[in-house]
Amino acid sequence: MRKEHCKDKREKGEKDNGKNCILSCEKRKADDADINKDLKKAKLETKALKAKRPGFTDDRYNETSYYIENGLRKVYPYYFTFTTFTKGRWVGEKILDVFAREFRAHPAAEYERCIRAGTLTVNYERVDPDYRLKHNDLLANVVHRHEVPVTSQPITLVHIDEEIVVVNKPASIPVHPCGRYRHNTVVFILAKEYNLKNLRTIHRLDRLTSGLLLFGRSPKKARQMEHQIRNRQVQKEYVCRVDGEFPDEEIECQEPIEVVSYKIGVCKVSPKGKDCSTVFKRLGFNATNNTSVVLCRPKTGRMHQIRVHLQYLGYPVVNDPLYNHPVFGPLRGKGGDTGGKTDEQLVRDLIAIHNAENWLGVDAGDDDLLFSKPVADDKVGEDDCDTGPTSRESSPRLESPSPGLTPSTVMTPTLPSPSSGSEAPMEATVVSPAPPCTMAPSPAASPTPNDDSNDAKSDKVTVATQTGCGAGVRAPGGGAGAGGGVAVIAGADALAADPHCYECRVRYRDPRPRDLVMYLHAWKYKGPGWEYETELPQWASVDWQEQESS
């Protein structure tokens, strides 16, 4: 009897445990379902944001305007929202602790101010500084964005019809938004000044390379042209100017090229690289400056192919700021000799040396831009925009509009648009919103002239990588508040300054003309049933001499 009682009790206990287990499992499933539901919702919201294609809307195009100064196209600073999802290593940590550790450009107190002010949000909602980050939390930060000046030379139309747009791109202008460039890009300029919108990039050129650039006006045409290029049905001819007396006979370089670092966009000849081929033919030699004009016919389309092959042959492009630099060793990479450096050493040295020379392609579309890190002397200030795979989409990867907070509502410039090429207006009014998450207040300074002087004692002077801000004059009746704006009168050399913006406090020197060009030009493209070419730049003349003043 006792055994049966114990057996019944045991069975009952097992049943209870079974019930508890089932209930526990059901609860877990319900919790997982909620998590999956939230995750699905977040993904749908992300897709919805991407579907809006922030690089293609009129609100984006109209959030700021250009002005011309010292031969440069500059962009009035504007407010913009950067977003990214929480990284795995941040999950479970307090948002303030993460920022204080991961983004040490600013003190923890500044990040706390931004969180409390609501300019640094989680899932577009204000949180407490003690909030612990979760998987798929969307971090958004409003920044006062300063873009990099580019040449004011116009983008000229080579051909246009219902299916394709062909332009001659000046050097220094990136093809599409990336890094610290957005409005100062070919796709934005074409949209704002030529009303050519929703163009699909068929191929790309390096930022410092000039020449032919093809866009499809429909996805179908872009795919067709891309297919032709990918299947090597398109003959491409480039012209460049190189150091030394290039051999008179035609040379074909078939050395494989390997990407050393996608992060900074650096390649080298390596047996581990991808097969590629470039045919070179000397067009002329100038004994006075010991340079040669060379015709280049790349048969493949590897990243930086022409520049890397010329470096390997010992005749680098005259002013190539990357592949014609002693950082590659005493021979500057000739024959693949980098002075015994490992790839890691090469990348480290490149980052350390080229910071102020404004060429290095660091992937600034990541958190460096998301939280508006200041560009210090040991940091890189821009992205070459040619380090990733080709895409027909022009939208920046990390840019997205926040609900109820778009640049068009945050910043409402009343500046007359100087996109026609006129000089910057002498007087304009800019309405500034509450300060975004940047540095603590400090007196702003106007940009320095285009010289090498460094007469600032309290303000750092940097080779220009941004459009600078000057101290604005508070308009009558203007006031600052959490929800109000400050009316600022801006002159030609004094733009609206945000008191919390680091870059508004930095005095930037304009780049010189020689900083904006590399002697490499995409001259002719020929495919099945079509052919386009541009005029050659002045430096492509064999007897051309570089001006000392440039």
Task: Give the catalytic positions in this structure.
Answer: 206
For residue 48 the two structure tokens come to 């919805």
Using CA atoms, how far apart are residues 227 and 202, in angstroms rounded to an integer?
9
The DSSP-derived string for 310-366 is HHHHT--BTT-TTTSSGGGTTTTTGGG--TT--HHHHHHHHHHHSGGGT-----TTT
What type of residue sits at position 64?
T
For residue 348 the two structure tokens come to 């480290």
Helix axes 108-117, 95-102, angle to 10 degrees: 140
Each as own residue / partner, the long-range contacts of residues 409-412 (CB below 8 Å, 24 or more positions apart, any chain) are 410/79, 410/142, 411/63, 411/64, 411/78, 411/79
Q: For tokens 């959490």, name the residue.
A: 482
Using CA atoms, how far apart are residues 454 and 456, in angstroms rounded to an integer?
6
The alpha carbon of 316 is separated from its chain's Cα centroid by a whole number of angstroms, namely 26
The DSSP-derived string for 203-223 is S---TT-EEEEEEESSHHHHH
CA distances from 415 to 67, 69, 430, 431, 466 (A): 10, 15, 7, 10, 19
Measured torsion, CA atoms of residues 356, 362, 368, 370, in degrees rounded to the nearest 10: 120
Cβ-proximal residues to 441 (8 Å cutoff; 6+ apart), any chain: 499, 500
For residue 548 the two structure tokens come to 């000392």
Q: For tokens 């107190």, name the residue.
A: 109
Using CA atoms, how far apart are residues 382 and 206, in angstroms rounded to an integer?
13
Among candidate residues 287, 309, 288, the one with its CA nearest the CA of residue 298: 309
Beta carbons of 461 and 449 less than 8 angstroms apart = no
- In the chain, how many H helices and how many E strands? 10, 24
What type of residue sits at position 204?
R
- Per the document, the length of the chain is 550
